[in-house]
Structures are given as C-alpha cells and as structure tokens.
Structure 1
Amino acid sequence: MTYGYIKQLRALVGHTPLILNCTAGILVNERKEVLLNLRTDTRNWSLPGGYLEYGETYADCLTREYKEDSGLDVKIVRELHLFDRGETRYPNGDVAQTIAMLYLVQPVGGALLTTATEETLALKYWPFNALPPLLNQQNADMLAFAAAHI
C-alpha cells in the first residue's frame, strides 16, 4: 500500500481537479446524535473518514481514517450508500470530486481524542436536526440519508 498517495498526485498535477474515492462513517450515540470532527484544514465539521490510499479498500480506509480522525477503533455494521455527487474545495486551492462510501459503524476500542491532532481540532456529537457548518454538500447529503435510514 502506498501512503501519501494524494500528496504524490498533487505533486504531479498541482491544483487540477481530481476524482477521488473516500469513505465516511456514521457513529450514533445513545441520544441518537452523530459524531463529527472539526477539521484543521477547512475549520468546519465533517464525518470522520477520508481518502483511499492506493491499494486500499473502502472498508480498510474507513477503519484507518476513523482511528486517525477520532481515536476510535470501529467495526462496520453495514454499508449505507455510495455518494457520487460531491465536490470539495480546499483553502490551498485543491479541488476534488469525491465518490464517498458511507458506512454505519460502532466503536470496538480506542478512545475519543481529547487533544487536537494534525487533522482534527475537536470531536463532538451533534443532533441530526441541529448540525454545525459542514465541509460540503456531500456531508450534508450523507447526514440526511443516515438520519432517514438508521
């Protein structure tokens, strides 16, 4: 597996828009609130998850990225939906059309991060009907889908 795949691509193509595969996980607490992370790059909230590295499956990516973003080890309960409409514009000028596989997950270990990391400033559970400013429309679409289907 090649880590840093996106950085390698960006070194070659600069800010040219890319089509990238990613994953996200829905983790709901006992109050039916969903866990979101406050991102360091865009300073808004998103579902824990991220881009696939070369050679990685959606499921492998989700468990790796969920741990990086939240500190939690998760188990996939089930696939929820594939979202193929979405664009993310980053502050550095990068643009990506994202194809995102959404999963329902449950924690099986680890602990929620209590300090900021390279990718996460904070973690918080939010009610589905009172969400903070989100990374993009695709995150909003994933959260709306999850609210209606879990």
Structure 2
Amino acid sequence: MATPGFIRELRGAIGHDLLFLPGVSAVVLDDGGRVLLGRRADDGRWSLIGGIPEPGEQPADTAVREVFEETAVHCVPERVLLVQTLEPVRYPNGDNCQYLDICLRCRAVGGEARVNDDESLDVGWFAPDALPPLREFALTRIALATADRPTWFAPPGTTGHDSRAGASRP
C-alpha cells in the first residue's frame, strides 16, 4: 500500500513512533460468488483489497476508491463485516503502525479485473473453495462475507486482536 502524503507529513513530525490509523478492507464478490484478490507488489502475497482513508473520507468511499485504483473493478458496498483493532506492525523502514480495520462486503458492478496501479503484481477472481494461500486476516473476512452472520467486533474487555473473528462473537 502506498503511503498517503498526509501520513508522510505526520512521520516527518513523529518519526517512527507508533501511529494509530484507520484502514478499510473490502471483500468484493461477483455475481458468481467469486472473491476479488490482488497479489501485493510489496510482499508477493495474495490479499484482499484495502487501504487508508483520506482525511474526511467515509469508509465506503475508501473501499470503492481502493478497489477501483488497484483492480479497475467498480463495486458497491453492501454491509460492514468486521471492525477490529489489529496487532501493531513494524515496517522495514522502522515505522510503527496499528490499524483499526473496517471491513466491508462489496458487490462488483462493472469493470474488468486487471492490475491498475503499482501496488499489485496480479489481480484475479477466485472461488471461495479455490483460494490461493492467504493470511488469516483475509480468510476470516471472506468467511464472514460468504455467510449470513452479523458484524463481528471484539467484545468489551478483550484485546480485539483475535484474528479468528467469529470465535467470540457478541
């Protein structure tokens, strides 16, 4: 994920200190129930599409923008799947971040899936039973998107880092 300009400006002031940021991820499904994934340029792994909202941008707008920017697919957000604070991350450059992920289920409504920017090496549609190797982060969100389950969030008093969303649903 490319670092937005406003984050680079903040880093100029705070250095590598922990920065708490919003993030939006999208599980995009087509009419056949396939999941849209991108193979990331930074680590070569398949992943859901997502990114950081611009200041003042609503999460649904972030999902629509990021999906189009990275894959050329137009989508419509349908519902919130999950709200979760993730474990802190230290990037190779020394930056420390922690994200609050808002994951949205989205429906593809147009466009043809292709690499549309420099953040992806490949883009593709996958049947839920034929997914490439994915991190638990993506698998959990795909499971929520393909099931009729309520929005997941960590119950009060828990750390909220349990990536097995649904293991302790409220």
Length-normalised TM-score, structure 2: 0.71
After the TM superposition, list the runs of 4 or more consecutive aligned residues in structure 1 that deviate by more than 4 angstroms. none
**Which position in structure 2 is the counterpart of 1:78?**
79
Measured in 1, the distance between the counterparts of 2:65 and 2:6 equals 15
2:124 maps to 1:142: no
* Alpha-carbon contact 1:85-1:97 (below 8 Å) kept: yes
Measured in 1, the distance between the counterparts of 2:120 and 2:59 equals 21
Say which one has the larger Rg: 2
Question: For residues 15 and 141 of structure 1, do their structure 2 counterparts lie closer, same or farther at Cα, with a shift above 3 Å needed?
Answer: farther
Q: Which runs of 5+ in 1 are unaligned?
A: none
Q: Structure 2 matches for 1:38-49, cutoff 5 A? A: 38-49=39-50
Q: Higher strand proportion, which one?
A: 1
* Alpha-carbon contact 2:77-2:106 (below 8 Å) kept: yes
Length-normalised TM-score, structure 1: 0.79
**Which position in structure 2 is the counterpart of 1:126?**
126
The share of aligned pairs that are identical, in percent, is 33
**Larger relative contact order, structure 1 or 2 (CA cutoff 8 Å, min sep 6):** 1
Measured in 1, the distance between the counterparts of 2:46 and 2:90 equals 14
Q: Which runs of 5+ in 2 are unaligned?
A: 150-170
Measured in 2, the distance between the counterparts of 1:94 and 1:71 equals 30
Find the residue that maps to 1:99 and give its secondary structure: strand
C-alpha RMSD of the superposition? 2.5
